[in-house]
Amino acid sequence: MTDDNPALQSAVRKATLRLLPFLGLMLILNFLDRSNVGFAKVAYQADTGISDAAYAFGAGILYLGYATFEVPSNLIMQRVGARLWLSRIMITWGIVSACMVFAHTPTSYYVVRFLLGVCEAGFYPGVLLYLTYWFPAKQRARATGLFYLGIPLSLVIGAPLSGWLLTHHDVFGLANWQWMFAVEGLAATVVGIFALFFLTSRPNEAKWLTDEEKNALNAVIEAEERGKLSEVKHSVFSVLKDWRVLAFIGIYLFIQIGVGPITFYLPARLAQALGGGVNTWVGVLLGLPWLCALFATRFFTVYADKHDNHRIVCIAMLTAGTIALGTIGLTMNPWVMVIAACIAVPGLASSQPVFWSLPTRYLGGVGAASGIAFIVSLGNLGSFASPQIKAYVDAATGNGDIGFYILAGCCFLSVVLLIALGSHRRWIVDAEPSADGSLSYERRGPGSKPAM
């Protein structure tokens, strides 16, 4: 089955138009409910008296819930189907996110944030796995990039929205931060209920595809699966014996360490630089970097697919992003800060769909379900570590800037790992499982071009 098969092209086009906008909407609400605590930080701490250390721990503890339940969640999705499981995830995370209204003490704050991580676990890797059911490898980075547009869109829309909601006090007797959590959490629940009726788990179940389109798409996907880590010969945990999976975990972890200060500290830092609290104007300014990320995500995923150089593109974007992240720590000039953020956010956020084309090109079956989930869950521990590192450094030095430098340095380690991975490119896509479940590596010829 060739890529220029009209039935295949039609199937991919229909899947793109049918699934990706809705999955993007789900991601918008997912990222907003995960990161809105950064917008609420100033008002929330002022009302509850929660310390900086407690705020940092609660902000990060969500990712411990993620790490604990990510892998089983992905395996359950493979068993019960994407439609049911992704809907369940969204409905429950919306309810729990709205429960931040009741989190007035450090303990209740920790519990709600941890449960939010438990409920959200499996959403992002689940969608990445879901995309492997619908999009051949050559179109997958572009499809992932279109889905990933939900993250910059969430803050292009959500940053001004959150800022605006925080200007409303005593609505239904709620403080401004309570009102924000209630509105944004319940919106996710409503969309999750709708997802039950809208999503389709597999191409064979799609009433909106013809039989010819289903057969063409399945033929390509199944052919690709046969060249990946096989479901038959690998257990859930055996993917952790593969050095490439460990490298991907490390890369994703260090990227998340860099994204942490942007998510959890940039809103309050910009508000401080402007001499006030988080409001609509701060939200509008914070939307600008994510607007840049919106265009960067689309451009670089298409560029990387076209030139088949995902690793190099990822290295360039992460390098620019880490330098800009360090610059944010150097200045309290709000305009320099916004300009630096307009480089840091696209560099760190928009590089991720490009990065995901690397592990998803050879993980298949249980290898895909568990491998992607392990990368996301263990990598997301970087999002837990990031605020803890900053809170510790800030307390130890008495300087709120140094934490940004330290986290930028940690993030740069993702670039180091990607460069090191390049020295072993000839093994990236040519791993085949042997009868005993171990991996054997076929060495490429010197003139061959690996798909990286």
pLDDT tens for the chain, residues 1 to 452: 455 688 888 999 999 999 999 999 999 999 888 888 988 998 999 999 999 999 999 988 998 888 888 778 878 888 888 889 999 999 999 999 999 999 999 999 999 999 999 998 888 878 888 898 898 877 887 888 788 888 888 888 888 888 888 888 888 888 999 999 999 999 999 999 999 999 998 898 899 999 999 999 988 888 877 655 444 444 556 677 778 788 899 999 999 999 988 888 888 899 889 988 778 888 889 889 989 988 898 888 888 888 888 889 999 999 999 999 999 989 899 999 999 999 999 999 888 888 888 886 666 555 566 677 788 878 888 988 999 999 899 889 988 889 899 999 999 999 999 998 875 554 444 444 344 433 343 443 333 444 44
Asked whether 24 and 146 are in contact (CB, 8 A), the reply is: yes
Q: Which domains does the chain have, with CATH numbers?
A: 6-441 (1.20.1250.20)
Q: What is the pTM of this model?
A: 0.74
Cα–Cα distance measured from residue 257 to residue 262, given in angstroms and rounded to the nearest whole number = 10
Residue 329, class by beta-carbon neighbours within 10 Å (0-12 exposed, 13-18 middle, 19+ buried)?
buried
Amino acid at 108: S
Residue 433: C-alpha distances to residues 189, 344, 449 (Å): 42, 39, 22
**Which of 264, 251, 283 lies closest to 62 in space, CA to CA?**
264
For residue 353, give the 3-state DSSP assignment. Answer: helix
Residues paired with residue 135 on neighbouring β-strands, in sequence order: none
Measured between alpha carbons, how far is 3 from 139 in angstroms, rounded to an integer? 10
DSSP SS3 for 54: helix
* pLDDT tens digit sequence for 185-196: 999 999 999 999
